[in-house]
Structure 1
Amino acid sequence: MNKWLSKIDYKKVNMIMDAISALSIIGMIVCTFFLWQNSPDRVPMRYNFNGEVDTYGSKSSMLILLFIDVICYIGIALLSKYPEVYNYCVEINEENREKQFLMAQTFMKAINAEITVIFFYIQLHTLMGITTGRQNLSVGFMPLFLIILFGTIGFYILKSRKSK
């Protein structure tokens, strides 16, 4: 039995990652505009490493994270369509080209899904915190975010090197 995902499996995983990314973006847009009307003029803008609010801004500052998330989503989604422009940690040749390109596309789509979900979580937590009065992120948020992000990067590098 082949220990690698087949081309069809990669495409299924990629479709799932695309759906997660798109749903996160849509959810973020809907939540932002749905909760916008009831938001006060002063809202949390930045959190420190402990998850505590350390900067407040105007109500319109909530749109900054939304804008950044949408730009990242579009940029990474477009970039994922062109794996031939990436830098690889292994030499690309005719034998490994398809596998490396599929793995790289899946990696980019996974990163896109992670970023959009994390930004959605931060935005939703901020908006819900405004209404409930609890405006701190959990202390475990930043370490968990870093573990997920760097775990994905490490996993991709290991798989890529194994599949020379």
Structure 2
Amino acid sequence: MYDKDRPILSIPTSPTERVLNVLSSMILFVTYAYIIFMWGELPDKIPTHFNGAGEVDGWGSKWSVLPLPIIGTIIFMVFIPLRKYPHRYNYPVEVTLENAERLYSTSKMVLSVLTTIISVLFLLISYEIIQVALGYKGIGNWLLPVTLLSIFGTVFFFLFRTIKLK
């Protein structure tokens, strides 16, 4: 079957994808659990934003910590059904019957990897917010470079891998 001149293939979920998907959901659960566990300890005013040096430059109510795991959950829930339609994605190479399975498998994997990375980052940011709110030293200024490197590094790795698969 074809969609817009692309083959529609049923690509099974790989064991690595399964592990990453379970890991992502567990990390999201840990994030919620950590926030719930620490909720009573949090002051009414907590950090909501950090500059590039890792210093607090924005404050808000303690409810401000909740959007992170909620956004992570939304991303997780959106990426799950997206994995079923890799024939609809944009690719930097032409999709043919010969390369479709490899391209689709790679694109499904990048969604699983990115979901895991985002889950980890949201856990770290939630941890940072809570630790700083409680007066402890936070993670520091390495979080922004690690965030950028992990997300863009993943995207570029899979982009080059996709181009190589053509």
- Relative to the length of structure 2, the TM-score reads 0.87
How far apart, in 2, do the equivalents of 1:53 and 1:79 lie?
Answer: 36
Aligned to 2:144: 142
Q: Equivalent pairs: percent with the same residue?
A: 28
Aligned to 1:68: 71
- TM alignment of 1:76-115, pairs within 5 A: 76-115=79-118
The CA RMSD measured in Å over matched residues stands at 1.7
Aligned to 2:153: 151
TM-superposition CA deviations, 1:32-57 (whole Å, max 9, x none): 11111121100111111111111110
Is 1:41 matched with 2:44?
yes
How far apart, in 2, do the equivalents of 1:65 and 1:71 lie?
Answer: 10
Match of 2:57, SS? strand
Give 1:78 deviation, angstroms.
2.4
Q: Is contact 1:107-1:152 (8 Å) kept?
A: yes
- The worse-fitting range, judged by mean Cα deviation, of 66-75 and 18-27 is 66-75
Q: Is contact 1:126-1:135 (8 Å) kept?
A: no
TM-superposition CA deviations, 1:41-88 (whole Å, max 9, x none): 001111111111111101111112222221122122222232122101
TM-superposition CA deviations, 1:116-147 (whole Å, max 9, x none): 1101111022223333x125441121111111
Give the gaps of 5 or more residues in structure 2: 1-10
Q: Is contact 1:44-1:55 (8 Å) kept?
A: yes
TM-superposition CA deviations, 1:83-122 (whole Å, max 9, x none): 1221011111111111110000001110111111101111
Give the gaps of 5 or more residues in structure 1: 1-6
- Match for 1:90: what amino acid? V
